[in-house]
Chains A and B, each alone.
Chain A
Amino acid sequence: MTLKLLLITACLLTVQALGQSPSSQSTQVAPVEVKIDNFSFSPATITVPAGTTVRWTNRDDIPHTVVEDKEKFKSKTLDTDEQFTYTFTKPGTYSYFCSVHPKMTGKVVVQ
């Protein structure tokens, strides 16, 4: 019995050490990935919790940009394989587009 209790405690302690603290403000969560390819963002719409970092990767053979409609965030020009990341701290709906090919649009819903 004591050994079992010891083992269980050890396991719990290990899990707690490895896992994330829910009250932490740091973004230890892996970034949410958005792929840019074939003149489109995919997924076109994503819903994430506040504090999430989103990472766009250009897999197209043409350069693109990631620009929020009101320029709340704006990437430099991304050539093939280049990336842009942005951390969404405030809840809201963020519509963005590629300023070079404006028909390409996407949305990040932050809850």
Chain B
Amino acid sequence: MSNSDRRSVVLAGASDTIQHDHNHDGIDRRGFLKCMAWAGAGAYCVMQGGVLKSYALGSHGASQAKGEISFVQISDSHMGFNKPANPDVAATLQAAIDKINALPQAPAFMLHTGDITHLSKPGEFDAVDQMLKTVRVGQTFFVPGEHDVLNDDGAQYRERYGKGSQGSGWYSFDAKGVHFIALVNVMNLKAGGLGSLGNEQLEWLEKDVKNLSKSMPIVVFAHIPLWSVYPEWGWGTDDSAQALGYLKKFGSVTVLNGHIHQTMQKVEGNVTFHTAMSTAFPQPAPGSAPSPGPMKVPDEKLRSVLGITDVNFVQGKHALAVTDQTLSG
């Protein structure tokens, strides 16, 4: 059975039109989740006029499905890592860049959700900066991972990527009517704790969104997940509830994270949480291994567990369409 046949079989079982619109916001949660669940096959879901439409990436339909804004997320490039799980993280980062450059529509910009480097070494930052020069995007926005702020409390990270940011590197910007918020939750971590935003950043966040219209779509990006994925492994943020409280009024909030090196999604009210794959190495599913360290997979399988995330927003009262693509095929 060909790939496209398989996709149509999956789609045939569920309707693409809104059947349950409990929140009266034009989103059928079940339909949306269905779309995101098999998006790993390389499909592209777009909400248009309240209807979920899906297209195979690269097909004629996909290039027609122009959203108001499209951007791409990569994460956890860990430049400098060289253990068996992936002895050549530069090669897989290049594969991710090639994937981005092959998208039917050049993304407006790219988000890197942290762990740019593995050991915060200047040479590692330099290597990534060099490679990202070839990405066909307008601009790249960063947030740091815990591997980017080693030894110097993030001084080097901020020197390179912190222009216009405050505190440990938080900032916000608007693009095509969408408000983007970059948060830092890898600083001043406390013993036994999870990720942490801290009071200064939370106060800034409250002010930042206070006067925004509730119909403005919000995208938040930060390294460590802002929901409790698996606290035993540190996969969560201690004070994220307070941050999400400030965003409660908004009709559409998309949270993009990294850190866990696998895709995971959750919908909670008007908030859609999504984590990206790494471009360097995978990590085990929660609780499936003694620890969350780099997971070795057979060499031929590596690129199928690494990837990028493509995000598309269509004007309207909808959530953003989030699609994950692996580096294989």
Contact = CB atoms under 8 A, between A and B. Distances in A.
Interface of A: 38-40, 60-63, 65, 69, 76-77, 79-80, 95-97, 99-103, 105
Chain B interface size band reads 20 to 34
Given A62-B293, A77-B120, A103 B147 contact: no
A105 B191 contact: yes
Nearest to B186: A100
B118 A63 contact: yes
Contacts of A97: 191-192
A63 B294 CA distance: 11
A101 B294 CA distance: 14
Nearest to B234: A103
Contacts of A60: 291, 293
A63 B193 CA distance: 18
B294 A103 contact: no
Contacts of A76: 151
Interface string B149-193: 011000000000000000000000000000000000000011111
B290 A102 contact: no
Contacts of B150: 63, 65, 77, 100
Majority secondary structure of chain A interface residues (helix, strand, loop or mixed)? loop
Contacts of B193: 102-103
Given A100-B150, A102-B193, 12 more contacts: A40-B291, A61-B85, A62-B293, A63-B119, A77-B119, A77-B120, A100-B146, A102-B190, A102-B192, A102-B234, A103-B193, A103-B234
B293 A39 contact: yes
A76 B193 CA distance: 20
- Greatest chain B CB density within 10 A among A80, A95, A102 is at A102
Interface string B202-242: 00000000000000000000000000000111100000000
Contact of A101 (B190, B231, B234): B234
B147 to A, nearest CB: 7
11 contacts: A39-B233, A39-B293, A60-B293, A61-B83, A76-B151, A77-B151, A79-B119, A100-B189, A102-B194, A102-B234, A103-B234
A99 B196 CA distance: 12
Contact of B291 (A38, A63, A69): A38
B286 interface: no
B234 A62 contact: no
Contacts of A99: 189
Nearest to B232: A103
A40 B232 CA distance: 12
Contacts of A69: 191
Nearest to B84: A61
B42 interface: no
A7 to B, nearest CB: 55
Contacts of A80: 83
A79 B82 CA distance: 11
B50 interface: no
A102 B191 contact: yes
B67 interface: no
A68 B6 CA distance: 55
